[in-house]
Amino acid sequence: MRRVVMLVDNAVEGDSRVQKAARSAADAGWHVTLIGCAHVDAERRWRLGDAEVRVLPLAAVAASGRDAGSCDGSGLRGVSGLRGVSGLRARLVARGGLPLRAARLARRPVEHAEVRFWRARLRDGAWRRLEPGLWDYERVAGPVVDDLRPDLIHAHDFRMLGVAARAVDRARAAGRDVKLVWDAHEWLPGARPRRDNARWLPAHLGYVREYVGHADAVVTVSDTLADLLVRDHALPERPTVILNAPIAATTETSAPDLRKRCGLPPDTPLLVYSGAMAVQRGVDTVVEALPLLPGVHLALVVADPAAAYVRQVVARAARHGVGDRVHVLPYVPHRQLVAFLATADIGLIPLHHWPNHEIALITKFFEYAHARLPIVVSDVRTMAETVRATGQGEVFRARDAADLARAVRAVLADPARYRAAYEGEDSPLPGWTWEAQAERLDALYRRLLTPIR
């Protein structure tokens, strides 16, 4: 049995794409070990079907006292005008003399200078100085990958690409031929920086450019992103598109009932938003639209109902006089989610315009579709084009509460018209299943590991 090692830079539990990929590959006969790297206290192990999961602790690395995203600017000590700035800034903050926001603004010139300096010296390798915390993943996962002696490494997202590439190089130097699949979950140039500094994005872009050439194949989440990856990296072949679609055959019909959990009767109009909560996700626009939609309720299905931003949204709803029509509920297991959502009337995707929002069919899009929910989506390009083509919902102008309310009223006036898009021979649902995606992934693995005769 050929061995596949999957790598991801999180604790696995909340990553449905990674879980589905590992489990379906194991079901197809591969010996799968899924390795996550996360800030946990100790190694965690469990099984996803026949796939083994190991989450390795980054905590020991972080405890060394070095900020994983820090760069002390030591290479810039000889650059005129920058000597001592970081130390002064730190002292001012420690004494309470420089507010955090002002400190962030004050450090920007230094950070931009750091980026220019290290890119001039190290080009794409500048990430070693700008974002040295990327080495933490190597120190934690690299030796484990070597011990497992995989035939194929599947690196999820961008942080694990370098870990996988270096493991492949070590294996090949030892005489073993190992294949590398890079799974690009998002378009990195269009991502929101995950650290509030000027180093994060150029560092990670250089990191990906350094290692993308090691990949024997690339997979990604949409046709639009596949085209961008070909353009950005001059890939020799177009990435295989693996949609993050739900598992159709194992959806649990015994799931809890969303409408009942909200305490609503069948005839009360119910909108649902399921997923991560952040300003750019546009839920504030929905709250602002509710006063224009008398009697309509909103369910927010979120990871942490007590999170600070969720509380802010609820407070905003109260200020608008619609607090009694907003219901916050925790996640259910992903195998129950489609059935859980099905008693709503409309699934909402109110995203703001942001590069990565324009190019993907996101997970909740498919979850709503399999729940047979009409979708009301902002005019982010790929999802808006899909909804218009299928007739499964309505499109509104992003951040425009009045236009969102118009779209909701249109769907509620004739819901059967929109649900009909999911029925019949032209239904997109058969192709929007994880089973169909798993077949593509298995075919790719077999192609890479089949000897050329």
pLDDT at 331 over 50: yes
pLDDT of residue 373: 98
- Looking at the chain, the whole-number percentage of residues with pLDDT higher than 70 is 87
Q: How large is the average pLDDT for residues 240-247?
A: 94
pLDDT at 175 over 80: yes
pLDDT at 85 over 70: no
pLDDT of residue 183: 98
pLDDT tens digits for range 434-451: 999 999 999 999 999 997
What is the pLDDT confidence band of residue 80, given thresholds at 50, 70 and 90? very low
pLDDT at 235 over 60: yes
Q: How large is the average pLDDT for residues 315-332?
A: 97
What is the pLDDT confidence band of residue 233, given thresholds at 50, 70 and 90? very high
What is the pLDDT confidence band of residue 345, given thresholds at 50, 70 and 90? very high
pLDDT of residue 451: 79
**Mean pLDDT over all residues of the chain?**
90
Q: What is the pTM of this model?
A: 0.84
Which residues face 328 on adjacent strands?
300
- Looking at the chain, the whole-number percentage of residues with pLDDT higher than 90 is 80
What is the pLDDT confidence band of residue 57, given thresholds at 50, 70 and 90? very high
What are the structural domains of the chain?
3-62+131-241 (3.40.50.2000), 76-124 (no CATH), 258-428 (3.40.50.2000)
- The order of strands in the sheet holding 31-38 is 44-48, 51-57, 31-38, 3-8, 152-156, 179-184, 217-220, 240-241
pLDDT tens digits for range 95-116: 555 565 566 666 778 888 999 9
pLDDT of residue 129: 95
pLDDT at 79 over 50: no
In our burial notation (b when 16+ CB lie closer than 10 A, e otherwise), range 426-447 reads eeebeebbbeebbeebbebbee
pLDDT of residue 1: 86
pLDDT of residue 259: 98
Q: How large is the average pLDDT for residues 379-386?
A: 96
pLDDT of residue 65: 43
pLDDT at 433 over 60: yes
pLDDT at 90 over 90: no
pLDDT of residue 109: 84
